[in-house]
Amino acid sequence: MSKPIKVMLVDDHAVVRAGYQMLLKNSPDIEVVREADTGEDACRIYTENEIDVVVMDISLPGIGGLEALKRIVSKDNRAKVLVFSMHEDVIFVEQALQAGASGYITKSSAPELLLDAIIKVSNGEKFIDPELAQRLAYEKTRGKDSPLSDLSTREFEIFCMLAEGLNTSEIAKRLSLSYKTVANYSTQIKTKLDVTTVADIARIAIRYNIIRA
């Protein structure tokens, strides 16, 4: 009998992790060996343990899920990270894949889909929620890229934080970057999106369902 897939769950809500634990415990193929509630903890725990698949939300406190994903993959290019998020807009799928994710499913998916995704990702396959994959392919064939597609992973993270109302100092502290670096990113973001104010950024974020009005 093959060994179960060792999974680390990363979500900042303990009750959500407990729900995943109960679901995954019913599968003989999967064993949850570690949990984390921040991006920083996820990076540290990953390097200290044998983890086959990381199941990670991208809305995390601290450095955030996308940055944690990037750091894990940069340290181990064989890392398998499955993003499990409430965000259903294709821009999040694009950004997660760009950061190195092996798969992406939403929290509104059927429970069986999570089990299937973990097994496929552990086998080296890419797995995207079928409905999201269809929408992603449709938008690509129409050539209907969001203006947010031009943002790098780091720029997209900072865009989201600006849209949520964080100022440059707060973003710098959260991401462990200098004030000047974040200010430069902010300028680049505004240039790429052809806007001048944070209010403009918030409007774009609302339009693309990044934040709620």
For the stretch 81-98, pLDDT in tens is 999 988 888 888 988 998
33 and 77 part of one domain: yes
Sign of the torsion formed by the C-alpha atoms of 8, 112, 18 and 85: positive
114 and 66 part of one domain: yes
* 36 touches 10 (CB < 8 A): yes
Q: What is the pLDDT of residue 137?
A: 79
Q: pLDDT at residue 142 above 70? A: no
Domain-embedded: residue 213: no
Q: What is the pLDDT of residue 32?
A: 93
**95, 78, 24: which is closest to 55 by C-alpha?**
24
Q: What is the pLDDT of residue 109?
A: 86
Provide the residue range defining the domain that includes 130.
Answer: 5-141
How many CB atoms lie under 10 A from the CB of residue 99? 25
Q: What is the mean pLDDT of the chain?
A: 89
* 198 touches 211 (CB < 8 A): no
Q: pLDDT at residue 213 above 80? A: no
117 and 187 part of one domain: no
> Where is the domain boundary, 95, 118, 141?
141
